[in-house]
Amino acid sequence: MINKLKSLTNSDDKKRLIENFFSLSVLQGANYILPLITLPYLVRVLGPEKFGLIAFAQAFIQYFNILTDYGFQLSATREISIHRENKEKISEIFSSVMIIKFALLVLSFIIMTVIVFSFEKFKKDWLIYYLTFGMVIGQVLFPVWFFQGMARMKYITFLNITAKFIFTVCIFVFVRDTADYIYVPLLNSLGFLVAGILAIWIVLKNFEVKFIFPCLSNIKHELKEGGYIFISRASISFYTVSNVFVLGLLTNNTIVGIYSAADRLINAIKSINGIVLQVMFPYVSRLSKKSYSKALRMVSYEIKFFVILGIILCLVVYFFAHDIVFLLFSKRFESSELIMQILIFTVPVVTVSAILGQQILLNFGLKKLFTISIVYMSFIHLVMLPIMVYLWKAAGAAIAVLITEMLILIFRLIGLFKMKRDIFWRLIKWQNCQIS
């Protein structure tokens, strides 16, 4: 046992991996605990209708987060991780990515303004959407991709926890009844903005990154590298963000609130799995360049771990959904029970699919399969979702999400089997995997 523990810290990369794991464990622990504190409070104080309005606004604004993120959370992370020893190259990548993101931010603001003042549904609550847009500005300022690529997750941890803790405290101070719903998007956006400004300051000061004006070819390169991922992330919105958005368009804010309460709780559970995925992506990217075999062994270990964990989570949440809803949300949200029982089965499916997509398809020359697996299935989801919502309202949206996630995973497995059969068998073979 002692020898195995020593083997985990016998290189700088592995020491950094462990440090990042614990940093993100603390962060995701906060991401899990803090929403569980504010979520029950908000749904009880605001009620289904106002909570649904805020959820609908956040779903709408999330489209602009996707646009401004482009594909940089993966493509720029990978490039930073590969060139992390070259300060000049790092500055070039950082500057190119930030210029593109700010250009997309301006475009997003223009598009949002046109939509808000063109449709009555948006126009009557225009202030909510503008206050919520502050989240987009904060996301643009916060270079998560840089810290992940440099394998310095402690900065992400400190900044996010500080901002979210302040936001959590302010929620209890300023939101006392239904009429205070306007403060929720305002406080949320302020948290993102403060974290983003501090993050930029740390990048420039602690990492000696210099902002330069890159040549057009560098900007084109970053756009191309993130292109495949952006298409897939934009497609993802059709079966994640669009569920709340379509519910809001076809039903009402109360039904949106019922669905969003369950959806956010399940997303909090998914965020736990995100610890390993966030840490492992840059590590596997570097490892795949050094040792094909070790990278596959590492990913195989992850898949088996998350399959077992996912089964346990599904059983616990499915059988105790009634108690969870009444304990956290109150009787007014009893309809969220069925939504939760359906959505919990997406947890293991999404996690395994993400591991295959990010750590195998992107790192082993299968970017096209990564993209089309989501684009094709998202198109199916876009056709299926309105029908399911019309038939079964919130439950229909949850069923549509589960079906789409399963189709994406199956599509990727079949594609991997056809294109890289040796990788396929090494990943699914149930054997004892060791990190060497």
- Three-state DSSP at 341 gives helix
Question: Cβ distance 39 to 328 under 8 Å?
Answer: yes
Burial of 134 (0-12, 13-18, 19+ CB in 10 A): buried
Q: What is the pLDDT of residue 29?
A: 63
Q: How many helices (H) and strands (E) would you count in the chain?
A: 18, 0
pLDDT greater than 70 at residue 381: yes
Indicate the range of 30-39, 258-267, 375-384, 400-409 predicted with least confidence: 30-39
**What is the rounded average pLDDT of the residues 192-205?**
90
Residue 436: pLDDT band with limits 50, 70, 90 = very low
The predicted model scores a pTM of 0.82
Mean confidence (pLDDT) of the chain: 86
Residue 281: pLDDT band with limits 50, 70, 90 = confident
**What share of the chain has pLDDT > 90, as a percent?**
51
Question: Cβ distance 356 to 406 under 8 Å?
Answer: no
pLDDT greater than 50 at residue 278: yes
Residue 4: pLDDT band with limits 50, 70, 90 = very low
Indicate the range of 163-172, 179-188, 250-259, 274-283 predicted with least confidence: 274-283
Question: Cβ distance 70 to 104 under 8 Å?
Answer: yes
Q: Is the four-CA dihedral 158, 164, 166, 172 of positive or negative sign?
A: negative
Indicate the range of 122-131, 177-186, 297-306 predicted with least confidence: 297-306
φ, ψ for residue 41, nearest 5 deg: -65, -45
Pick left, alpha or beta for residue 215 (phi over 0 → left; psi -120 to 50 → alpha; otherwise beta).
beta
Question: Cβ distance 145 to 80 under 8 Å?
Answer: yes
* Calpha distance 136→109 (Å, rounded): 9
Residue 5: pLDDT band with limits 50, 70, 90 = very low
Q: What is the pLDDT of residue 435?
A: 38
pLDDT greater than 50 at residue 337: yes
Indicate the range of 221-235, 242-256, 317-331, 353-367 predicted with least confidence: 221-235
